[in-house]
Every structure is written in C-alpha cells, then in structure tokens.
Amino acid sequence: MPKNVALIFFRDGVGVAIFAVALLAVLAATILLLIGGTAKEPSPLIHAGFGMVLITVALMIVMRDMVRTAYLNPYFQMSRLQVSPQIGIIVVFLLTFGGGLATLVWMLRKVANGKTRQAAASAK
C-alpha cells in the first residue's frame, strides 16, 4: 500500500477514529470470546463477543472503502460519474417480481384447496 494511502489512518481525524475504534473492537471481541469460552455461563459473553466481531467487520468495510477511495483518487472520482437511470431494467425486474408473487399466490391457493379437499374426503 502506498505511504500516502496508509497515512489516512494516522493524519485524518475520521480515519484515526475509525482505526482506533476498530482496534478496540478487535481487542474486546478477542477478550470476550476467550473469557466466554472458559466461563461456566458463556452465553452472554459469547453473544457480546460475536457482536463485537460484527462491529469489527463493519468498521473493516468502512476502512476498506476509505483505502480504495484514497488509492484511486488521482485517477478516478465518483463525483465525476454521470447517473443515467435505466427504467427498462427496473420495469423488467418489477414484472418478473410480480409474476413470481402471482405464481407463489397461485401455488399457496392450490395447496390450501388440496388440504381442504383432503380433510373433507377423510371426514366422510
């Protein structure tokens, strides 16, 4: 990783804060999971450790985005992209989604009718 990209986690206030919180989250997750693994009642500690792991992963995602943005900044900037809506694709998706829902409703009605017919036949 280029030095100027790595320095965003040491010079930029937001980068420093995210890096520090991510480090603390990793430490907390490690400690909670290690203690929870040997405790008599591990469930709350394991759940808290797992929660800290999820927080760590979320922070790693943010850090990766910051690194990608800083790395590509001299060559590419998202603000320069032109947004062009693709209405045709959205219409195709909505039609397919509606057809899938209609098929699901049809199948559920068939199952419900079959169960009522079966119950009526077994009652005779």
pLDDT tens, residue by residue, 6-25: 788 788 888 889 989 999 99
Looking at the structure, do residues 66 and 120 belong to the same domain, yes or no? no
Looking at the structure, do residues 37 and 68 belong to the same domain, yes or no? yes
Looking at the structure, do residues 64 and 97 belong to the same domain, yes or no? no
Looking at the structure, do residues 1 and 28 belong to the same domain, yes or no? yes
How far lies 83's CA from each of 72, 77, 78, 80, in Å? 19, 13, 10, 9
Give the model confidence (pLDDT) of 82-97 as tens digits.
Answer: 888 899 999 999 999 9
Confidence of residue 77 (pLDDT cuts 50, 70, 90): confident
For the chain, the domain total comes to: 2
Looking at the structure, do residues 11 and 68 belong to the same domain, yes or no? yes
Average predicted confidence (pLDDT) for the chain: 88
pTM for the structure as a whole = 0.61
Q: What is the mean pLDDT of residues 66-81?
A: 84
pLDDT of amino acid 124: 67
Range of the domain at 29: 1-78
